[in-house]
Structure 1
Amino acid sequence: MIIIGEKINGTIPAIRGAIEKRDAKFIAECAIKQEEAGADFIDVCAGTAPELEIEALKWLMEVVQNATETPLCIDSPNPRVIEAAFKYANKPGLINSVSDEGEKCEVLLPLMDGNTWEVIGLTCNNKGIPCDVQTKVDIAKIMVDKAAKFGITPDRIHIDPCVMALSTNNDSLLNFTREISEIRALYPTIHITAGLSNISFGLPARSLMNKTFLALAIQAGMDSAVMDPTNQDMMGTIFAAYALLGKDKYCRAYSKAFRQGKITIPEK
């Protein structure tokens, strides 16, 4: 499972405060904790006012890169912000994100030409997030075709089918698993990712719903996730799911994670 650490995001009040105060120690500690917990990428999203976002994002990138060796996931809803900050990355990482909306593909995909950067592709367009499976699959096709023009192969793309909240769509998980199946049938090497907590929006006991969704999504073929790697319950679910699905020989990774304290037994 490819873990994209989500904790350095300016929409989180504590992170927003640290950005405003330029509290490098706080941000660095957050990055280090995610790296030590197993993050493969560390998402950096300034989430500030548009006129301040580029400078804030550059600062976040500098702080995180000074603190860890983990590649960045450069994150902004504005492709021009990512374009401006891109050159400050020390090594190839992940762009978050493109979609069939506006000029995102046209601005961001050329940045990946001739290197090994990866990208998250959201299955949405100028009309928003589709409710039907086929439209999402069609959008994925469009993005893969556009990426190919810049030498970007499917194995460098993380498709996010934009899972809907279960509270508003009772077939959310079922549609998500169909989307995984149909996209993977077209592109066997493509990655499938998701923002896990979207599924539980508006529901009580959200952590229970998130963990259950994670296990079922892994079984369906999801191999990437935007999540909190320091959440031991969620990480434990990943290790347990991989062991149960026969993807962890003799449960070695599961046992090692337990010995290292990365997963714990829930308190009674």
Structure 2
Amino acid sequence: MLIVGELINTSRKPIKEAVENRDAAYIREIARRQAEAGAHYIDVNCGTLVRNEPEVMAWLVELVKEAVDLPVCIDSPNPRALEVGLELAADRGQPMVNSITAESERFNTVLPLVLKYKARVVALLMDDSGMPDTAEQRIAIVRKLVGDLTRSGVPEDDIYIDPLVKPVSTSDSAGVEVLETLRFIRKEYSAVHTICGLSNISYGLPNRPVLNQVFLIQTMAAGMDAYILDPLDRTLMGFYYASQALLGKDPYCSEYLKAHRSGLYRKD
């Protein structure tokens, strides 16, 4: 299982303000806290800063490298910002690219970067026809993306399919379609990984953490093996470790026991 810490993102007001004020100490602290909470990768996303995104990306990645000894997930719609981040992150273990799609222009632009830096890659289920609604539409894109990536030299083990989680507030079947897609991937592509931005499922609804927590458990049971999430959410991380143990993915319950000893399940 893989956790990508999502908090260094300029769409979040505290991070945007820290970037504007060049508050390096705050950025380093957020990176450090995510690492201590169990993140395996630190995501860096400054895509809202269109005017100077490559410059900000470089600054953020350098700060993350100063704070933690973890690989970095470079998250941007801008190929130039992706390359700047990947070049700097390449000396901290295998980097991750977020993301490639089956859209022709995006695929052809991002693929050379994935190959050049031997990166893991989040493959988002979108193509030139837009965003899929049904599991069948998602599955067709899975087949195309996995086929095109592997034929280009990307190992299946480096591919992380993002099934495109949509808010259940906009479609009653949004969660079900994702679960069906996950089951297909686990059956047909056992070496390929799956990942998602968990909180998308609850957008627009009250009590969002409850929906996120339940969807975490449901998707883990369906085969999801990586998440982009807030590792500082103690309850969510508690469910993550408990689910791993119950699904037989935590030998001797070692990670669950470690989380228990750290005080994760203690009620404050």
In structure 2, what is the equivalent of residue 72 of structure 1?
72
Q: Does the CA contact (< 8 Å) of 1:110 and 1:150 recur in 2?
A: no
Q: Secondary structure at the match of 1:125?
A: coil
Query: Superposed, which structure 2 residues align to 1:203-242 within 5 Å?
Result: 203-242=205-244
Aligned residues: 266
Q: Percent identity?
A: 39
- Looking at structure 1, the residues matched to 7 and 109 of structure 2 have their Cα atoms a distance apart, in angstroms, of 26
- Looking at structure 2, the residues matched to 93 and 78 of structure 1 have their Cα atoms a distance apart, in angstroms, of 17
Q: Return 72-81 or 106-115, whichever deviates more.
A: 106-115
Query: Superposed, which structure 2 residues align to 1:123-138 within 5 Å?
Result: 123-138=125-140
1:84, distance to aligned residue in structure 2 (A): 3.8
1:48, distance to aligned residue in structure 2 (A): 3.4
Query: Superposed, which structure 2 residues align to 1:11-90 within 5 Å?
Result: 11-89=11-89, 90=91
CA deviation profile, 1:210-261 (whole Å, cap 9, x unmatched) = 1011011101100000001111101100111112223334433212211112
Q: Return 66-75 or 129-138, whichever deviates more.
A: 129-138
Which of 93, 97, 100 aligns to 2:99? It is: 97
Q: Secondary structure at the match of 1:15?
A: helix
RMSD: 1.6
1:102, distance to aligned residue in structure 2 (A): 4.6
| 2:262 is the alignment partner of 1:264 | no
AA aligned opposite 1:4:
V
Q: Secondary structure at the match of 2:70?
A: coil
In structure 2, what is the equivalent of residue 2 of structure 1?
2
- Looking at structure 2, the residues matched to 115 and 82 of structure 1 have their Cα atoms a distance apart, in angstroms, of 11
- Looking at structure 2, the residues matched to 126 and 33 of structure 1 have their Cα atoms a distance apart, in angstroms, of 39
1:51, distance to aligned residue in structure 2 (A): 2.1
Q: Secondary structure at the match of 1:88?
A: helix
Change (3 A) 1:112 1:182: same
1:114, distance to aligned residue in structure 2 (A): 6.2
Q: Does the CA contact (< 8 Å) of 1:119 and 1:157 recur in 2?
A: yes
CA deviation profile, 1:104-160 (whole Å, cap 9, x unmatched) = 221222223265410001001233211011221111222222212331111101100
Q: Return 187-196 or 97-106, whichever deviates more.
A: 97-106
Change (3 A) 1:101 1:167: same
- Looking at structure 2, the residues matched to 7 and 85 of structure 1 have their Cα atoms a distance apart, in angstroms, of 17
AA aligned opposite 1:143:
L
CA deviation profile, 1:30-53 (whole Å, cap 9, x unmatched) = 000011111111000113332210
Q: What is the TM-score normalised by the length of structure 1?
A: 0.94
Q: Does the CA contact (< 8 Å) of 1:19 and 1:46 recur in 2?
A: no
- Looking at structure 2, the residues matched to 80 and 139 of structure 1 have their Cα atoms a distance apart, in angstroms, of 26
1:25, distance to aligned residue in structure 2 (A): 0.5
Q: Return 91-100 or 247-256, whichever deviates more.
A: 247-256
In structure 2, what is the equivalent of residue 106 of structure 1?
108
Q: Return 235-244 or 216-225, whichever deviates more.
A: 235-244
Q: Secondary structure at the match of 1:95?
A: strand
Q: Secondary structure at the match of 1:111?
A: helix
Which of 109, 122, 125 aligns to 2:124? It is: 122
AA aligned opposite 1:264:
Y
Q: Secondary structure at the match of 2:122?
A: strand
AA aligned opposite 2:250:
D
1:183, distance to aligned residue in structure 2 (A): 2.1
Q: Does the CA contact (< 8 Å) of 1:83 and 1:107 recur in 2?
A: no
- Looking at structure 1, the residues matched to 220 and 20 of structure 2 have their Cα atoms a distance apart, in angstroms, of 37
Q: Does the CA contact (< 8 Å) of 2:47 and 2:78 recur in 1?
A: no
Q: Secondary structure at the match of 2:51?
A: helix
- Looking at structure 1, the residues matched to 7 and 49 of structure 2 have their Cα atoms a distance apart, in angstroms, of 19
